[in-house]
C-alpha cells in the first residue's frame, strides 16, 4: 500500500482528494486540523503520532520533523534505503500534499502583532515540501489545490508521470522561495544586501507585451505597494495591456505629486499634458488644451473624484485608461458607455520603494527619486530673481520634469504644461521641441531642465521662444556662460543642485 501525507492550512478540496486517494488504495497520514477534518468526513486516516510514536510538542510547532517521516519521503526506491527504513520502523511516503501557514496574509494585517506574524512562519511545511521536491524522482509533491485534479487523473492511469513530478517539484521550490522572501522582507533585510530576493506574485497573464509577438505577464511586488497599479480596482473596460500598465503607473505617480486638483495625460511614458485647476473639471480642460493631439489614445490620471461634468468632457475623445481615487455614479454611467475604456480606482500615493531597471544578465537597483525641494534651499544665480508667479511655475515644472525621459525639458505657464522635449540625444534639441509645441504660449513661460545646460545655446533658444525664468540643477563647467546668457536676456535662473535623469 502506498502512503500519502496530507497536512494543509488551506483545506480547499482536501477531503475530495483524500477520498480519491482512498479509492486508489492509499494510506492517508495527517496532522492537526487536517486530520480532524478528514476524520469528521469519514475518511480513514492515520494520525502522524501513530507513525512517529512521538506526540506533537510546543503547541504543534514540532510534529512532522521526525526521521520516520522525512526518511520515508527522502528514501530512494532501492533495497539499501528500504532496509534502513525498516530498521527504524518507517515506510516509504509516496505523495506529499502540503500548503503553508498564511504568513503573507497575517503579515499584511495592520492589526496583527509582531508575535502573531512570527508565529505564522511555517517550519515543518516548507521542510516537507523541500524534501519531497528533492526526491521527485519517486515522490509527488503538491502545494497548490489547483493541482489536485491533475494528480488524481494521473494516478488513475497508474502513476504521476516523471515530467509532471518534476513540474510539481519546481513549483514547490518556487513556492517556498517566495514564502522565505516575504519573511526576509518583513524582518527588514538590508536595502542593498549581498544576495537579494524579491517576492513577486502574478497579477495577470497579458495578451502580449510591448508588441504582439512578445508574450507577457504582470507581476506585482509583495507586500503590495499602495502606489502600484496592481492595487487598483478596475471598474470598467477590457483587461489592461502591457503598455497600459506601464504608462498608467507613470501617470499615477506624477499626478500623486500634486495636492491641488490635477490631471495628467501620458503617452509613451511621457506626460503630454498636465495642469492644476480650481477643480478637476478645470484641471482636465487645461490638460487637454496643453496638447489636444497627443492626448488622443492616452492615459489620463486624476487626483480627485471624477464627476459627471469632467466625465462628459473626457468622453469626447478616445482614451485608453482613466485613473482616479473614485468616480461618481453619474460619471461611471457616462464613461461606461465606452466599452473599451478602462476605469481604475486608486488612491493617490507616492512610491518610496526601490527602482529596478533590467539589463542583460541582471538588474540595476537604486533608491527612488523622491527628493523634494524647499524654496529656501534653492540658489538664484542671475541678477534678476523670479517673480512670485514664476516661482509657482518653476516648482510646478520641477515636479513635472522628473517624469520626462532625458534629455528632458518642459515649458510651463500658470501651472500648466505647455511644451515637452523628451528623450533627445542633445539638450538643445529638447528645448526646440518644447518651444515648437508651446508656440506663442511660451512667451512669459518658465523652463525646467532635468540636468545642467552644457552650452549657452540652450538659453539662446529659450530666450527666442519667450522664456522668462529657468530652473535647472547647475554644475556644468560652463555654468557662468549660461548665467551670463540669462542675464543678457533678463531671464531669472535658479539652481537646484539636484538632477532628475530618467532614462
Query: What DSSP string runs through 181-199?
Result: HHHHHHHT--SS-SS---E
Peptide bond into 102 cis (omega under 30): no
Asked whether this chain's domains 231-345 and 374-495 adopt the same fold, the reply is yes
The pLDDT averaged over each successive group of 10 residues in the chain (503 residues) is 93 95 94 92 92 75 80 86 84 93 91 93 92 95 96 93 96 95 87 85 91 93 77 93 93 93 96 96 97 95 97 97 97 95 90 84 87 77 97 96 94 97 93 95 96 94 97 95 96 94 87
337 by DSSP, 3-state: which?
Answer: coil
Topology of domain 2-187, CATH: Rossmann fold (3.40.50)
Helix, strand or coil, per DSSP, at residue 291: coil
Domain boundaries along the sequence of the chain: 2-187, 231-345, 374-495
231: closest CA among 243, 217, 210, 245? 245
**Superfamily of domain covering 374-495:** AICAR transformylase, duplication domain (3.40.140.20)
- Give the separation between CA 295 and CA 378, rounded to whole angstroms: 33
CA geometry: angle 11, 17, 20, nearest 5 deg: 155
* Structure confidence at residue 290 (pLDDT): 93
Return d(Cα 487, Cα 386) in angstroms, integer. 12
State the pLDDT at residue 226.
Answer: 67
Annotated active-site residue 134? The verdict is yes
CATH class of 231-345: alpha beta
- Sort residue 385 into left (φ over 0), alpha (ψ -120 to 50) or beta: beta
45-90, pLDDT tens digit by residue? 999 888 877 777 677 777 777 888 888 898 888 888 888 878 888 8
Give me the catalytic one of 2, 20, 70, 134: 134
93: which residues sit within 8 A by CB, 6+ positions away?
3, 4, 5, 29, 69, 72, 73, 132, 139
Nearest-angstrom CA–CA distance, 97 and 168: 11
Measure CA 235 to chain center. 19
Taking every pair of C-alpha atoms in the chain, what is the biggest distance, in angstroms? 96
Dist. CA 164–CA 134, nearest whole Å: 14
In 216-290 the beta strands, taken as DSSP E runs, fall at: 216-222, 233-236, 262-267, 270-276
Separation CA 194–CA 495 (nearest Å): 37
Catalytic residue among 2, 268, 309, 338: 268
For the question of residue 70 being annotated catalytic, the response is no
CA distance 275 to 292: 13
State the pTM of this model: 0.84
Amino acid at each position: 500500500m502506498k502512503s500519502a501525507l496530507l497536512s494543509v492550512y488551506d483545506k480547499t478540496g482536501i477531503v475530495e482528494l483524500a477520498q480519491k486517494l482512498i479509492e486508489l488504495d492509499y494510506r492517508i497520514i495527517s496532522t492537526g486540523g487536517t486530520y480532524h477534518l478528514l476524520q469528521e468526513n469519514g475518511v480513514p486516516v492515520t494520525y502522524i503520532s501513530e507513525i512517529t510514536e512521538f506526540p506533537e510538542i510546543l503547541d504543534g510547532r514540532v510534529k512532522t520533523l521526525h526521521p520516520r517521516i522525512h526518511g520515508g519521503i527522502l528514501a530512494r526506491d532501492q533495497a539499501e534505503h528500504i532496509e534502513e527504513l525498516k530498521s527504524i520502523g518507517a515506510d516509504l511516503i509516496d505523495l506529499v500534499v502540503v500548503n503553508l501557514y498564511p504568513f503573507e496574509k497575517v503579515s499584511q494585517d495592520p492589526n496583527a502583532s509582531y508575535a502573531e506574524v512570527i508565529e505564522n512562519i511555517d517550519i515543518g511545511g516548507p521542510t516537507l515540501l523541500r524534501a519531497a521536491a528533492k526526491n521527485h524522482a519517486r515522490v509527488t509533491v503538491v502545494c497548490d489545490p489547483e493541482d489536485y485534479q491533475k494528480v488524481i487523473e494521473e494516478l488513475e492511469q497508474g502513476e504521476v508521470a516523471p515530467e509532471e513530478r518534476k513540474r510539481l517539484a519546481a513549483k514547490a521550490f518556487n513556492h517556498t522561495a517566495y514564502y522565505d522572501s516575504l519573511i526576509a522582507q518583513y524582518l527588514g533585510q538590508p536595502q542593498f544586501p549581498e544576495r537579494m530576493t524579491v517576492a513577486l506574485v502574478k497579477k495577470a497573464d497579458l495578451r502580449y507585451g510591448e508588441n504582439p509577438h512578445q508574450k507577457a505577464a504582470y507581476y506585482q511586488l509583495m507586500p503590495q505597494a499602495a502606489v502600484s497599479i496592481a492595487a487598483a480596482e478596475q471598474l470598467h473596460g477590457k483587461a489592461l495591456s502591457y503598455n497600459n500598465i506601464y504608462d498608467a503607473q507613470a501617470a499615477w505617480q506624477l499626478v500623486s505629486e500634486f495636492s491641488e486638483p490635477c490631471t495628467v495625460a501620458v503617452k509613451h511614458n511621457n506626460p503630454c499634458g498636465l495642469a492644476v485647476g480650481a477643480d478637476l473639471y478645470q484641471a482636465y480642460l487645461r490638460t487637454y488644451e496643453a496638447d489636444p493631439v497627443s492626448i488622443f489614445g492616452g492615459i489620463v490620471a486624476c487626483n480627485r473624484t471624477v464627476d459627471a461634468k469632467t466625465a462628459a468632457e473626457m468622453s469626447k475623445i478616445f482614451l485608453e485608461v482613466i485613473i482616479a481615487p473614485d468616480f461618481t455614479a453619474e460619471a461611471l454611467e457616462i464613461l461606461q458607455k465606452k466599452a473599451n475604456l478602462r476605469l481604475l480606482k486608486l488612491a493617490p500615493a507616492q512610491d518610496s520603494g526601490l527602482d529596478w531597471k533590467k539589463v542583460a544578465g541582471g538588474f540595476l537597483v537604486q533608491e527612488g527619486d523622491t527628493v523634494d525641494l524647499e524654496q529656501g534651499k534653492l540658489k538664484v544665480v542671475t541678477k534678476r530673481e523670479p517673480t512670485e508667479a514664476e516661482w509657482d511655475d518653476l516648482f510646478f515644472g520641477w515636479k513635472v520634469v522628473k517624469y520626462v525621459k532625458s534629455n528632458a525639458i518642459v515649458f510651463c505657464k500658470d501651472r500648466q504644461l505647455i511644451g515637452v522635449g523628451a528623450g533627445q540625444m542633445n539638450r538643445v534639441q529638447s528645448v526646440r521641441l518644447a518651444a515648437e509645441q508651446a508656440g506663442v504660449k511660451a512667451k512669459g513661460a518658465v523652463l525646467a531642465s532635468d540636468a545642467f545646460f552644457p552650452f549657452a545655446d540652450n538659453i539662446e533658444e529659450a530666450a527666442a521662444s519667450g522664456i522668462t525664468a529657468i530652473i535647472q540643477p547647475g554644475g556644468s563647467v560652463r555654468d557662468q556662460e549660461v548665467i551670463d546668457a540669462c542675464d543678457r536676456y533678463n531671464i531669472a535662473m535658479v539652481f537646484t543642485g539636484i538632477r532628475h535623469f530618467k532614462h
